[in-house]
Structure 1
């Protein structure tokens, strides 16, 4: 006994597959693929531009932060030197008075 339901499903699948290939390879479909691909390239370019801007801003922030820290460390060292000079001056004054 032949199962016509299965044969009908296979035949419909074959017909739809063949029609689908014809539709997908048509001139209009190719034009659509071309426009979608061009849009994807534009999107990629925009993303890369945004990435570059963010990267440059992060590098600027990092450089500014390093400068701030270097200045802070230099100020701290200068304060330590002044404090050490004051301690030495007090020690000399006490030694002279004794």
Structure 2
């Protein structure tokens, strides 16, 4: 590989890098970045709303499940007491 080939590759890389910085810092690019960022914020808000809804539903389910178990335990305990009374009455 000749030195001129290497120098040419470095010069091309420098030119592309400089052009890339110019393109990325242009008004159009900034407008694009702003729109993408706004879309990301909207998406985040939507995800947070969904997460809050799911969390609330999970809390409701948990409370309902605890209530069901409390009723079941009370029924089982009442049955145990009734069975014990029946044994004592014999």
TM superposition score normalised by structure 2: 0.96
Which residue of structure 2 aligns with residue 25 of structure 1?
A: 25
Matches of 1:27 and 1:79, distance apart in 2: 78
2:52 is matched with: 52
CA drift at 1:26: 0.3
- Offset at residue 27 of structure 1 (A): 0.3
State the Cα distance separating 1:87 from its structure 2 match: 0.9
CA distance in 2, matches of 1:30, 1:23: 10
2:75 is aligned with 1:83:
no
Distance 1:12 1:41 in 2: 38
How far did 1:20 drift?
0.6
**Which structure's CA Rg is the greater one?**
1
Give the alignment's TM-score, normalised by structure 1: 0.88
Mapped partners of 2:79, 2:11: distance in 1 = 90
Report the CA distance between 1:81 and its aligned residue: 0.6
Structure 2 regions of 5+ residues with no counterpart?
none
Aligned length: 89
> Per-residue CA shift, 1:15-64, capped at 9, x if unaligned?
11111101100000000000000000011111111111111111100000
Q: Quick one: distance in 2 between partners of 1:14 and 1:80?
A: 86
